[in-house]
């Protein structure tokens, strides 16, 4: 989990395959592609590469660099991009993910697989990048056109401070993914978009305490959250941006953290 936290912080700091240098740019990692949606201010970014320690490919998605503006701009409108029209996801998250996919995400994965001979893939992301990580994992799992021929096996999906991505049907359809959804104390982002709008989290939550020194393995499922974990602060106390920007003692968000 900590190595995934290091990878997604690196996604805030690294913008070139020739510059693997940052506080969390771990040894044993080779960066093979940086995918960016350059046409959008504060657009998405994904790092693709190979982690020799885990003998696995990886994709690490960056989150927004301006959390408050990003929360204000969540549109909370569902889109139905899948063959099963009952499976719906938040339109803004899907747009961010699909824009990155159009920039060559599948091609980058295919090239990394060819170079390193591994079909295993670790997927991670922070904030809106956590939503993108879940959306990519679901596309690989369901055999979406861009990924069906790659023969990838998802080793893990680890998100940090991810928002709710889709509806109940999406959470159910994603239940077979090897997911870990890490939350930190009173982090505001896991509580948007709101449940009363029809949004559900994917499983399985691991809730860290305020000091990041201990955690609870939560009893959530695709049917609902564990109200003794992160959701225990809802609806009035889940307001911390500081908790969102610090996971496992790793400061998120780029800037001086790089």
Angle in degrees, 0-180, between the axes of helices 128-142 and 91-102, rounded to the nearest 10: 70
Q: Is 6 one of the catalytic residues?
A: no
Q: Which two tokens stand for residue 118?
A: 């591994």
Torsion of the alpha carbons at 188, 47, 255 and 207, rounded to the nearest 10: 30
Instruction: Exactly one of 51, 187, 220, 226 is catalytic; name it.
Output: 187
Dist. CA 70–CA 249, nearest whole Å: 23
How many Å is the Cα radius of gyration of the chain?
Answer: 17
Which of 6, 8, 191, 244 is catalytic? The answer is 244
Entry pTM? 0.96
CA distance 115 to 118: 8
Q: Which of 127, 162, 179, 204 is catalytic?
A: 127
What tens digit of pLDDT does each residue of 174-232 get?
A: 999 999 999 999 999 999 999 999 999 999 999 999 999 999 999 999 889 999 999 99
pLDDT at 236: 83
244 included as an active-site residue: yes
Does the pLDDT at position 42 exceed 70? no
- Give yes or no: 228 in active site: no
């Amino acid at each position: 989990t900590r190595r995934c936290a290091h990878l997604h912080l690196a996604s805030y700091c690294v913008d070139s395959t020739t510059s693997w240098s940052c506080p969390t740019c771990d040894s044993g990692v080779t960066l093979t592609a940086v995918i960016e949606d350059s046409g959008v201010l504060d657009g998405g970014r994904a790092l693709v590469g190979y982690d020799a320690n885990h003998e696995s490919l990886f994709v690490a998605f960056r989150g927004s660099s301006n959390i408050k503006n990003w929360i204000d701009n969540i549109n909370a409108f569902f889109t139905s991009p899948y063959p099963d029209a009952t499976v719906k996801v938040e339109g803004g998250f899907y747009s961010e993910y699909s824009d990155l996919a159009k920039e060559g995400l599948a091609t980058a994965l295919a090239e990394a697989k060819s170079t390193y001979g591994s079909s295993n893939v670790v997927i991670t992301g922070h904030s809106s990048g956590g939503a993108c990580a879940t959306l990519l994992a679901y596309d690989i799992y369901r055999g979406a056109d861009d990924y069906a021929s790659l023969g990838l096996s998802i080793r893990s999906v680890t998100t940090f401070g991810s928002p709710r991505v889709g509806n109940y049907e999406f959470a159910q359809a994603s239940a077979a993914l090897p997911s870990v959804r890490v939350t930190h104390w009173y982090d505001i982002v896991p509580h948007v978009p709101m449940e009363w709008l029809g949004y559900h989290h994917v499983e399985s939550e691991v809730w860290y305490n305020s000091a990041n020194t201990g955690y609870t393995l939560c009893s959530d499922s695709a049917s609902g959250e564990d109200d003794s974990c992160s959701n225990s602060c809802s609806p009035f106390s889940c307001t911390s941006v500081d908790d969102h920007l610090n996971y496992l003692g790793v400061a998120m968000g780029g800037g001086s953290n790089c």
